[in-house]
Amino acid sequence: STLFPYTTLFRSLIGNKSDLRNTTEGSIPYESGLDYAQSLSSWSTFEIPYIETSALSGDNVEDGFAVLLRNIENYLDSADKS
């Protein structure tokens, strides 16, 4: 399509409520989320980053968007050069 010539889909795995990890039963460890993101990356064209956030405290919320946007910018820069 000429409207949007890029067909690449960018993904990030975001773990929310990291502030409740020690107080909530059933919370997954950081390493489990990271392992899952790595397993998703194995079938994807790009690495899928794992970021844990807390909406309550605001921890890493902006970082989650920044990582995704940085990956898109890098892709578009490399596509423009080829």
In tens, the pLDDT along 3-17 reads: 555 567 788 899 999
Q: What's the per-residue H, E or C state across the chain?
A: CCCCCCCCCCCCEEECCHHHCCCCCCCCCHHHHHHHHHHHHCCCCCCCCEEECCCCCCCCHHHHHHHHHHHHHHHHHHHHHC
Question: pTM, whole model, 2 decimals?
Answer: 0.76
pLDDT tens-digit series, residues 20-59: 888 888 888 999 999 999 999 888 778 899 999 998 999 9
